[in-house]
Structure 1
Amino acid sequence: MALFADLVGRLADLLQPLFDASAAAAAIVLFTALVRLLVHPLSRAAARGQRARAALQPQIAELRKKHGKNPEKFQKALMELHTKEKVSPLSGCLPSLCQLPAFFLLYHLFSNTTIGGEANELLTHTLFAAPLGERWADALRDGGVFGAAGTVYVGLFVIVTGVAAFNFRRSKRMMASAPASANGPSGEQVPGLASVTKVMPFMSFLTLVTVAVVPLAAALYVVTSTTWSAVERAVLYRDMQAPATAL
């Protein structure tokens, strides 16, 4: 934790001439961008994996017809197909999982008043008028929604809402272009999956809750990473959205 605090502090010192009192906030944004650059190869691999899984749909349909009355045989045949084609159904989870340590480091760094037995000086830094170690509830208590600190959160909420709306539209298009995934081995609708499918596009808006309840420093990580993800996925998966453009 002390090493990580030193890293953030050094980045803030480098950016101080450009961002003055908000240098630590800029350092967090830069740190997030560096993490996303490191994870980008995994994101590209996940995109290739999703394209490969999409290309396997005709073969999966054949397996579904062949083993429609035996779910166990279907699942075994499906796993064998994935292994043969070197496609991992879990590859899409790796980019998100690899970012969790960075998020939790920021969360704990700006939630502790001391680091290595010494006062956590990073808590004195702000994003404009909002302290990086405080939460939206603190901003509401100190000045209300449109107070000095509250306005910072309003700006973040606007960004997150815009990104979530973009992700919502994109998710709806992609899910509409792959309706077969909601079917079981024999082609029947999997119980409950239709409801999950309807809810999934709205999951992006849960980021608003995260931004509201974590320290501002961690919220900056979430906002920056979410925005990066939206742009990255739009580029990496642009060819997979083509069939649904008419929607």
Structure 2
Amino acid sequence: MFGIPVLGVAHDVLLTLADALAPLLGTGSVAGAVVVFTACVRLVMVPLGYAQARAEVARARLAPQVERLRQRYARDPRRLARELGALHRRSGISMFAGVLPALAGLPFLFLTYRLFAGDRDLLGHTLVGAPLGLHPVAGLGGPHTPVLLALIALIAGVARVGYRRAAAVPNTPAPLRWMPFATVPTAAFAPLAVGLYLLTSTAWTTAERPLLRRLATARADRVVPGH
């Protein structure tokens, strides 16, 4: 997916960030660079997050109409699906708008995986003593088990918060509610640096979503006064 030039640029960017962070983080400077890199990626994707927030607000406001349709066509699932699709189209929202930020972040996730799956300049760096190229599943039972378990536990905790917030939004499709938990098995079978990327990205999303929803709600109130 990524050619040598892209990997080379990403490698240089990470090491440049690590050099800048070295006075503060020492041997953890590359791990810090992964966090900063992830934050920059998420900053670029804020417009997609805002689009997702607008869709969530719109779905919440459609909830009464959706419930009426479900009661009316409870015995006709095909008609219900058609009516729900038509309702969302008329409202100008997608039932799966929340997938966009996750899809947009996949190339950067794969890039991080490629870098720490075979780049010798990066594999020797550590996070609290644990090599950034170490896979948690392979490292369990070894000297780095506490670090690996702590990272997986943090990712699972953030995923749980993300699930609860998504479930609190009326009319959210089940795949979008459960999507945050996909980060847990991914982190378990990927290099430690990928887990650090996932933790940073999901924590950013968890913190960002309420802010963007408030902005989207304020905008919707201006467009449709009285709601």
Same topology, TM > 0.5? yes
Two-structure CA RMSD over aligned residues (Å) = 3.2
Conserved 8 A contact 2:99-2:176:
no
Structure 1 residues 139 and 79: CA distance shift in structure 2, 3 A? closer
Shift of 1:140: 3.5
Comparing 149-158 and 21-30, the one that deviates more: 149-158
Shift of 1:168: 4.9
Q: Count residues with an aligned counterpart.
A: 210
CA distance in 1, matches of 2:107, 2:57: 28
Corresponding position of 2:157: 162
Structure 1 residues 70 and 164: CA distance shift in structure 2, 3 A? closer
Corresponding position of 2:222: none
CA distance in 2, matches of 1:109, 1:94: 24
Structure of greater Rg: 1
Give identity over the alignment, percent.
39
CA deviations over 1:194-225 (Å, ceiling 9, x no partner): xxx6x997765554333222101111101111
Structure 1 residues 212 and 52: CA distance shift in structure 2, 3 A? same
CA distance in 1, matches of 2:22, 2:10: 18
- Which of 49, 55, 68 does residue 49 from structure 1 map onto? 55
CA distance in 1, matches of 2:155, 2:198: 9
Paired residue type of 2:27: A
SS of alignment partner, residue 133 of structure 1? coil
Conserved 8 A contact 1:46-1:92:
yes
When the two structures are superposed, what TM-score results if normalisation uses the length of structure 1? 0.71
Work out whether 1:127 is the aligned partner of 2:130: no
Shift of 1:35: 1.0
- Which of 68, 79, 86 does residue 92 from structure 2 map onto? 86
Structure 1 alignment gaps of length 5 or more: 114-119, 183-196, 240-247
Conserved 8 A contact 2:125-2:131:
yes
Paired residue type of 1:153: L
- Which of 203, 208, 216 does residue 232 from structure 1 map onto? 208
Conserved 8 A contact 1:157-1:208:
yes
Corresponding position of 2:221: none
Paired residue type of 1:51: V
When the two structures are superposed, what TM-score results if normalisation uses the length of structure 2? 0.76
Corresponding position of 2:145: 150
Shift of 1:110: 0.8
